[in-house]
Chain A
Amino acid sequence: MRNKNFNIGVVTFKNPVFLASGPAGYGIEYRDLINLEKLGAVVTKTISLMPKEGNSGTRLQETESGLLNSIGLENVGARRFFDEKLPELLDAGAKPVVSLACEGKEEYLELLDITSKQDNVDVVELNLSCPNVEEGGMGVGTDPALLRWYIKEAKHILGGMAVLAKLTPNVGDISSLAVISEKAGADGITAINTLLGMDINLETGTPVFDRVVAGFSGPAIMPIALRAVWEIAKVVRIPVIGVGGISSIEDAGKFLAAGAAAVQVGTAIFYDPGLPERIVDSL
């Protein structure tokens, strides 16, 4: 069998197919439907220092070949995640990549401190771009100085762990942010997070989501993600992980051909949980 190994920094993955952060939750919810052990890694939903209850109101709205979500980073908080959820994910044989929220600086530093003490974690992905939370990532991923600070602190506090910078596409030039991330010490770039979208309820004439805007994902965004990966791969030397609307083996092949070293599957697992394993088999 062909060796599918792939490295980010000093960390080796058995193959370059990951579950993306968000749709799969803590990963364990999908263990009956996806053989997690077979995948390169499972990127967890984004973990914040304190528990977050998430957004009120409608959280999901399907579109033609896409999905708007306004979950609001609902999660159990770092302590419960590391005590309860991570051990289950490890029991299921998964290789975890922990997605970390880039919140206020003090909270972020404490989150990094807790994460640095986890023996079972050697890769994190910084959610620099989640558009769902007013006080959250949006500003971080679009401001070069902040981006640099968040990545440098992660590299510094997490010691030898590999750090992936997950970038937002809601900027003018994503590749310049990728270059900044690389210079700040990121070991890899994950591109892209969700696009900003919205919807209107015609009966009331008001926005569907309490927070008005929502993250847009699914097959509809695939060409945008592919373009971002193509542009980023030309200007950085670190591995680029392509994510955004991958819905078939062919889509994954296009990302790899565009310069991605690995791919993540997100929204597609909702309707086709077998897809990530089929992509692994196709390599």
Chain B
Amino acid sequence: MADLTKGSYETEIVMRKRVSPSSFLIALSKPDRFTDAMPGQFVSLRIGKGVSPLLRRPYSIMDITKDSIVLLVRVVGKASAALASGKIGDVIDIIGPLGGSYFEIKNGCSVVFVAGGTGLAPLLFAARKWAKERSVGELHLLYGAESSNEILDDLCTGIFTEVHIATLDGSKGFRGDVVEMFKGLSEGGILPEGELFSCGPVGMVKALMDSNTVSFTDHYTSLEAVMACGVGACRGCVVPFKSNNGTEYKSVCGDGTVFRAEDIDWEKWGKK
């Protein structure tokens, strides 16, 4: 069982690197507690010192190196733009590692990873960590984005048995979305039997679950959510699950971020 205690820390930006027109790697100095952080766990960052933006922003951990926590930051709004424009040495207030569940690859198990956009981050961490610590089977990455600009394939080299790329505009790899590519590969018998790990937009995860009719024993997904507390207290980032007494809401921040996709009550969730 992993250590799930968390803390509040002042860290410094130790590396900032643009990896696509809109994405950056940001590395933060690593508090000791993060040495054992797990794939699927995240940090919540305070952006600036004021009250706008008010809430912290959650980022999946993409890697833990000897000295740093590596995050993948895509600029989508004011907060991510402020974070991405940080300078080396800037102090960032973080809380973490957060999340009560995580990706784990058992010895000898093969995994197919399906990433949409920045959903790549926790999957890279999972593949890298478990391949280092255990004797895993085949690890295949299916990775989709709008266009080749946003495909960060340099980050994926040397980790996977095979990397399959899909772009909506066809500028690289398969033309279409990553779930269509998954269907083709899986029906063609190209993918190994084992588990399915996914992270990406909710629509992708749902479509993937509906397509998983072949040979994957379990589909685990790390969900994205708008969060307030990050620690399972406020019940703001909840997702409905089927239960004996109707619906049980679980929080992405406290119970997740990693859930079995089949356990989610997609019908109820889809109503929002």
Interface residues of B (CB under 8 A from A): 5-8, 46, 51-56, 95, 226-238, 240, 246-249, 254, 268, 271-272
Within the complex, which residue of A29, A53, A64, A272 is in contact with B254, where a contact is CB–CB below 8 Å?
A: A29
Within the complex, which residue of B55, B226, B238, B268 is in contact with A271, where a contact is CB–CB below 8 Å?
A: B55
Complexed CA–CA distance, A156 and B22 (Å): 62
Complexed CA–CA distance, A218 and B51 (Å): 9
A56 adjacent to chain B (CB < 8 Å):
yes
Inter-chain contact B52/A54, CB cutoff 8 Å: no
CB-nearest residue of chain A to B240: A56
Inter-chain contact A218/B272, CB cutoff 8 Å: no
A69 adjacent to chain B (CB < 8 Å):
yes
B residues within 8 A CB of A71?
Answer: 234-236
Tell me whether A67 and B55 are in contact in the complex, defined as CB-CB below 8 angstroms, given that A29-B254, A74-B238, A210-B272 are known contacts. Answer: yes
Smallest distance from the beta carbon of A240 to chain B beta carbons, Å?
Answer: 24
Inter-chain contact A29/B233, CB cutoff 8 Å: yes
Q: Identify 19 residue pairs between A and B in the complex whose beta-carbon atoms are under 8 Å apart, listed by A's number.
A: A23-B228, A23-B233, A24-B233, A29-B231, A30-B233, A57-B272, A58-B272, A60-B226, A60-B236, A61-B226, A63-B54, A64-B52, A66-B54, A74-B238, A210-B271, A270-B56, A270-B229, A272-B46, A274-B8
Smallest distance from the beta carbon of B57 to chain A beta carbons, Å?
Answer: 10
Inter-chain contact B51/A65, CB cutoff 8 Å: yes
Inter-chain contact A271/B254, CB cutoff 8 Å: no
CB-nearest residue of chain B to A71: B235
Inter-chain contact B234/A23, CB cutoff 8 Å: yes
Within the complex, which residue of A30, A218, A274 is in contact with B54, where a contact is CB–CB below 8 Å?
A: A218
Inter-chain contact B7/A33, CB cutoff 8 Å: yes
A62 adjacent to chain B (CB < 8 Å):
yes
Complexed CA–CA distance, A180 and B144 (Å): 62
Q: Top 10 A-B pairs ranked by shortest CB distance?
A: A25-B233, A29-B233, A57-B272, A60-B236, A219-B51, A74-B235, A65-B51, A29-B231, A59-B236, A270-B228
A residues within 8 A CB of B234?
Answer: 22-25, 60, 69, 71, 270
A residues within 8 A CB of B46?
Answer: 271-272
A142 adjacent to chain B (CB < 8 Å):
no
Inter-chain contact A54/B231, CB cutoff 8 Å: no
Q: Decide if the interface of chain B is mainly helix, strand, loop or mixed.
A: loop
Within the complex, which residue of B95, B235, B271 is in contact with A25, where a contact is CB–CB below 8 Å?
A: B235
B residues within 8 A CB of A63?
Answer: 54
Additional pairs, 10, CB under 8 Å, beyond known A25-B232, A66-B54, A270-B229: A23-B234, A24-B234, A29-B254, A30-B233, A57-B272, A67-B228, A74-B235, A270-B230, A271-B51, A272-B46
Complexed CA–CA distance, A71 and B52 (Å): 22
Q: Interface residue tally of chain A, by bracket?
A: 35 or more
Complexed CA–CA distance, A64 and B55 (Å): 10
Smallest distance from the beta carbon of A60 to chain B beta carbons, Å?
Answer: 4
Most A-side CB within 10 Å, residue of B5, B51, B95, B226 = B51
A190 adjacent to chain B (CB < 8 Å):
no
Q: Which of A173-224 contact B (CB under 8 A)?
A: 210, 218-219
Inter-chain contact A59/B235, CB cutoff 8 Å: yes
Inter-chain contact B271/A56, CB cutoff 8 Å: yes
Within the complex, which residue of A23, A53, A57, A210 is in contact with B229, where a contact is CB–CB below 8 Å?
A: A23
A247 adjacent to chain B (CB < 8 Å):
yes
Inter-chain contact B54/A25, CB cutoff 8 Å: no
Inter-chain contact A26/B53, CB cutoff 8 Å: no
B residues within 8 A CB of A218?
Answer: 51, 54
Smallest distance from the beta carbon of A111 to chain B beta carbons, Å?
Answer: 20
* In the complex, per-residue mask of A64-80: 1 if CB is within 8 Å of any chain B CB, else 0: 11110101001000000
Most A-side CB within 10 Å, residue of B236, B237, B238 = B236
B residues within 8 A CB of A57?
Answer: 271-272
CB-nearest residue of chain B to A64: B52
B residues within 8 A CB of A25?
Answer: 229, 231-235
B residues within 8 A CB of A62?
Answer: 53-55, 226
Tell me whether A53 and B247 are in contact in the complex, defined as CB-CB below 8 angstroms, given that A59-B237, A270-B234 are known contacts. Answer: yes
A residues within 8 A CB of B51?
Answer: 65, 218-219, 247, 271
A residues within 8 A CB of B249?
Answer: 53-54, 74
Tell me whether A54 and B238 are in contact in the complex, defined as CB-CB below 8 angstroms, given that A29-B233, A29-B254, A32-B7 are known contacts. Answer: yes
Smallest distance from the beta carbon of A29 to chain B beta carbons, Å?
Answer: 4
Complexed CA–CA distance, A62 and B240 (Å): 22
Complexed CA–CA distance, A153 and B246 (Å): 33
